[in-house]
Structure 1
Amino acid sequence: MPKARRARGSGPAPALPLAEQILQDAAPRARGKRGGPGGAEEQGGDGGGDEFVDARLSRRILEQARRQQEELEAEHGPGAPAAPRQRSALLGPGSDSEDDEEWPSLEKAAAAAGRSGDYGGEVEVDPEDEKAIEMFMNKNPPLRRTLADIIMEKITEKQTEVETALSEISGCPMPQLDPRVLEVYRGVREVLSKYRSGKLPKAFKIIPALSNWEQILYITEPETWTAAAMYQATRIFSSNLKERMAQRFYNLVLLPRIRDDIAEYKRLNFHLYMALKKALFKPAAWFKGILIPLCESGTCTLREAIIIGSILTKCSIPVLHSSAALLKLAEMQYSGANSIFLRLLIDKKYALPFRVLDALVFHFLAFRTERRPLPVLWHQSLLALAQRYKEDLSSEQKEALLELLKFHSHPQLSPEIRRELMNSKTRDVEGEQAAAME
């Protein structure tokens, strides 16, 4: 039936309070006869402009809602909270429903991961392997500065350069931060030092969009953040910073915090572990800001290598980034922990370029003159290379690796490596067959 026109000059009907609307919906309504005289008036005065759910559909909706509530009470006990979707609707527009739900979900995930063994933050280290790796660590490592020292040094250098340039151009010094800005971010610092769950200050969320984000970040004192705040910050920065800036955040903020946590508690906090996984959203920044600097420092412990290496096992990483990381790890100075990361990346079974495979072979052949006993982890990584890429090696490379086993042998692993290399094809056989056919 066509909709009846309203009389000119009549405005929209005033909105009723929600309680009265619910009572009107529940009250029985008279139905007008279709096509009968006065039908438009009997159906509410606007010819069907107000549509109501019929009684049958209302009963079905209420029945489904009752069943969902019973399921929630059976799972969580009486008085269970509303489902996340319902809660997000009650929070209103512009609120961070994801932040509100993040903490409970992380706690449940931590408990579930602990039961299933998926959480790699707690590991048991073999003392013999740890001693073997310590032999290859840097004996004179550079002094570890605090995070505040590193960031402040970078900021000071940048300010000095800009101030010098501005003074030469205009003769005016660079303006300092507004006191109101300092006051706001000191308040953010207090929030992050006590943060457990819920929404983050909006002033913190806009930091990645600022040109002087490092200076603002320094004001918040990242070394005082809670583990949950570090996870939320990693989510924000990994999503909104460009790759080069994300790399700086990982290297100057996330990595020192992770190393300090492992050194102090002999394990890694679950929220920091999840921050490591979230940081892999930008793989190139993750490798350049966390993995490569950790190995180049020469002080990576066995516990750190196992915990951080478990991220490589559980996450999917593009082959291009993994190939570049393998090439860099193979060419850098050996520090013991390299073997763990090499083995984990090799076990992902990528189709690696020949240049990367050649670098891996040369990495192992460089130990022909090594007099110190090599750790078991070194033999395990060599076995992984032989198992995964035995048919992608040339005959000369296999002969050189077999010769290497005479210098560095392991009673259980070396026979297996020798068997893999000898009972497999070589990549240059196919080239010789193709040349013979021509």
Structure 2
Amino acid sequence: MGKAKKVKVSKGETKEPKIGLADQIELEKEVKVKNRQKIRRRADEEEYIAPTLTKKILSQARQQQLEIEDEIGPSNLEKPKKSKVNLGSDFSDDEDQSSDDGEPVEDVYYENINIDEDDERALQMFMSKDAAPMKTLADIIMEKLTEKKTEIETQFSDAGTIQLQDLDPRVKAMYEGVRDVLAKYRSGKLPKAFKLVPTLKNWEQILYITDPTKWSAAAMYQGTRIFASNLKDKMAQRFYNLVLLPRIRDDLAEYKKLNFHLYQALRKALYKPAGFMKGILLPLLESGTCTLREATIIGSVIANNSIPILHSSAAILKIAEMDYTGANSIFLRIFLDKKYALPYRVVDGVVFHFLRFERDTRELPVLWHQALLTFVQRYKSDISSEQKEALLGLLRKQSHHSITPEIRRELQHAKCRDIEITETKPELMDIKDT
């Protein structure tokens, strides 16, 4: 048997001490603590990129910078501007909607609306040719002042009429100062005297002094917030009709788009839905001069916000009974797309609205056919059998090459409300027969 070879221990290694078997067993039972050493590099020990590679990186960066400047110009690279800001519907008076460098930001607050020229021409055919100009607050105040000169004393107690009082010169001077502030207002706190206007009896007279036609768009938004929160429905309706609606129509006529703050003011006006319907929507349609752009933008406010069913039902019924203009079809379709559980009276009113055009010799716009399609898709099970037959007869007189076949298909597969009642509750029909 050969001798056991000795294991050579290299330099730097340490020999393990000889331990007996009993001691080894005891050591295995104990928990061993590992000595972990964290290796931390000092700042001066960090690896750096080689100078030749750094030179190449910098030269490529300069070359790319020059290419970008040639494409979009060096001035556009100095101050990158935000193209879109997500703003909530509620922001305080102290908040300023501005960019980091203090400049105002243009906000994209609704989708870019593409107005079809053919639709716009079709709507103009149905507009009223001799419509009276819309009255503003200034017009009505001047009429009342003229009446007051001819009368000894005029007293107005109804909320729907303007109350005029003799004003203290100091009060008039104060609100003339408020007028100057509102004309230049952008953000921040409003004058306290302005916030008190809705609590006054002659609030319309005071409002006239502040000259709402010259308010900035931000001041109009803040004013709508205050008046919508503090006025009753009838008074809010007058503010919307005499101040807000003329401003919105003027802005759209001049700039072909609506300022962000005015769009937000429309949304705030929905806080009083009855005032919104009677002060903005219905007067706009009754004027007979509502353009496609106005209908589309104001309709987007209605489509994207919640409105109680009672106010929407009343608006649908009123629109259905109006003299027809192309804008009526736009608003009807928007309300119908909200998928309310409408009362049968409202459904019947919409059916009769469409049946009026059976003998109309004019070529109806595509918007009319689209509104009829939306109505049939949403409420085909809520119409009666007689109404279904009448609508099928209407399609023979008024048709569109691509929309009418779809309307006819929806009607032919519809299960009418009287058939559903017969199938589910036949005892009701027995009672009706007796």
Partner of 2:268: 278
- For residues 51-70 of structure 1, what are the structure 2 equivalents within 5 Å? none
User: Normalized per residue, which structure has more helix?
Assistant: 1
Measure how far apart 1:319 and its partner are. 0.3
How many residues align? The count is 330
Corresponding residue of 2:301: 311
Amino acid at match of 2:366: V
Q: Distance in 2 between matches of 1:365 and 1:422?
A: 17
Please give the residue correspondences for 1:126-141 in structure 2 after superposition, counting only pairs within 5 Å. Answer: 126-141=116-131
1:101 to 87, 95, 102: 95
1:293-337 Cα deviation digits (max 9, x unpaired): 000000000010000000011100000000000000000110110
Please tell me whether residue 241 in structure 1 is matched to residue 235 in structure 2.
Answer: no
SS in 1 for 2:326: coil
Q: Provide closer, same or farther for how the CA distance between residues 321 and 145 of structure 1 changes in structure 2, counting only shifts above 3 A.
A: closer
Match of 1:414 in 2: 404
Report Cα offsets for 1:373-413 as digits up to 9, x if no partner: 10000000000000000001111101111110111111111
Q: CA deviation at 1:369?
A: 1.3
Q: Check conservation: 2:148, 2:154, Cα contact below 8 A.
A: no
Match of 2:426 among 411, 415, 435: 435
TM-score normalised per structure 1: 0.71
In structure 2, what is the Cα distance between the partners aligned to 1:143 and 1:398?
40
Deviation at 1:98, TM superposition (A): 2.3
Residues 135 and 242, structure 2, Cα contact 8 Å, conserved in 1: no
Q: CA deviation at 1:163?
A: 1.4
> Which one of the candidate residues 258, 265, 289 is aligned to 1:299?
289
Structure 2: distance between partners of 1:268 and 1:165: 39
Label 1:357 to 1:165 Cα distance change in 2 as closer, same or farther (>3 A).
Answer: closer
Distance 2:122 2:322 in 1: 19
Question: 1:12-161 counterparts in 2 under 5 A?
Answer: 98-101=92-95, 103-104=97-98, 114=108, 119-120=110-111, 122-145=112-135, 147-154=137-144
Residue identity (%): 65
Alignment deviations for residues 339-373 of structure 1 (CA, whole Å, 9 cap, x no partner): 00000000000000000000000000000111111
Write the distance in 2 (CA, Å) between the matches of 1:408 and 1:124. 27
The structure having more radius of gyration, on CA atoms, is 2
Q: 1:159 to 1:316 in 2, by over 3 A?
A: farther
Distance 1:242 1:177 in 2: 24
Counterpart of 1:252, as a letter, is L
- The 5 A counterparts of 1:316-335 are 316-335=306-325
SS in 2 for 1:316: coil
Name 1:184's counterpart in structure 2. Answer: 174
Cα distance change on mapping 1:151 and 1:254 into 2, 3 Å: farther
Q: Which residue of 2 aligns with 1:228?
A: 218
Change (3 A) 1:141 1:345: same
Native 8 Å contact 1:349 1:388 kept in 2: yes
* In structure 2, C-alpha distance between the alignment counterparts of 1:324 and 1:165, rounded to whole Å: 33
Give structure 1 stretches of 5+ with no counterpart: 1-96, 167-173
The equivalent of 2:251 in structure 1 is: 261
CA RMSD of aligned residues (A): 2.6
Contact 1:244 1:285 in 2 (8 A): yes
Amino acid at match of 2:339: K
Cα distance in 2 for partners of 1:382, 1:343 equals: 8
Cα 1:271/1:155, change in 2 over 3 Å: farther
- Identify unmatched segments of 5+ residues in structure 2: 1-90, 157-163
